[in-house]
Amino acid sequence: MPTRHLDWLRQAKRDLEHAQRSLAAGDYEWACFAAHQAAEKAVKGLFQKLGGEAWGHSITMLLSHLPSGVAADSSLVDRAKELDKHYIAPRYPNFHPTGAPLDFYTQGEAERAIDHARNIVAFCEDKIL
């Protein structure tokens, strides 16, 4: 069966662009979620390139299960831990006791999330290409 690793990587890059557009528009919650999606898809593309299959949405767990020859260092895993916090909270009003996600996200958070995603995508792209 053919691998689709390049499709995953292309979509990861597109999601990262979406995160940047959301940041510029002031949609900080969506910038954080799109950054999460970019990183998740990049890591799943790397798994496909390596002949494996990746399940789940935790970037931390995905990075932690990479084979030793392509393992991520602890600083990259720490970035993933922060991104994992942006999988559910930016999308659902009932995540917080009151208010909507848009009430809780800041420009600084969105900028950090995009930076973290950019680093994870670059790490994966380096291993894929």
Query: Domains of the chain, with CATH numbers?
Result: 5-128 (1.20.120.330)
For residue 80, what pLDDT is reported?
Answer: 98
Measured between alpha carbons, how far apart are the two ends of the chain, in Å? 19
- pLDDT, residue 111, reads 98
What's residue 95's pLDDT?
Answer: 96
Q: How far is residue 51 from each of residues 13, 76, 116, measured CA to CA in Å?
A: 21, 22, 25
* Torsion of Cα atoms, 119 then 6 then 20 then 99, to 10°: -90
Model pLDDT, residue 10: 98
Question: Tell me, what's the pLDDT at 105?
Answer: 98
pLDDT for res 3: 81
| 82 vs 63: CA distance, rounded Å | 13
What span, in angstroms and rounded, lies between the C-alpha atoms of 80 and 52? 20
Residue matched to tokens 């670059």: 122
- The reported pLDDT for the residue numbered 13 is 98
Determine contact, residues 45/6, Cβ cutoff 8 Å: yes
Q: How much is the pLDDT for 1?
A: 58
Q: Which residues of the chain have a pLDDT value below 50?
A: none
